[in-house]
Amino acid sequence: MNRISAMIATATKGIEEKVASGAVTKAQIEKLDRTLDMGADEHARFQEVKSLAVADGTLSQEEGMTLYRLLGPTATNFNEQPLGTKVTLTKLFQELLGRLARA
């Protein structure tokens, strides 16, 4: 299991625990899920940033392939992912964009 898969598993477990404990409602989860949907431009940029991160060694090739598989060829593929995956990948995208801005 690579870092990305581990982060997704952790996020998914955390979401499930918060729902089970009543800390968040299913309506809040559904709203967050819709909020995290991305458009075609964001999707293309994420694919580009992912490739740069693999090229500079920030991400391993295995992690890059995991991202490629989860992002899929269109934004629809990402938008249909479970919430734990969307939360993790959105956070990762933010971190990778921050690294680029500082470079």
- The number of folded domains in the chain is 1
Contact between 89 and 12 (Cβ < 8 Å): no
Please give the backbone phi and psi of residue 16, each rounded to the nearest 5 degrees, phi first. -60, -40
pLDDT at 103 over 80: no
CA angle 54, 4, 103 (to 5 degrees): 40
The closest of 93, 84, 75 to 37, measured between CA atoms, is 75
| CA distance from start to end of the chain | 29
Model pTM score = 0.91
User: For the segment 25-51, what is each residue's pLDDT rounded down to a tens digit?
Assistant: 999 999 999 999 999 999 999 999 999
Classify 36 as helix, strand or coil.
coil
At 40, the amino acid letter reads A
Q: Which domain holds residue 97?
A: 3-102
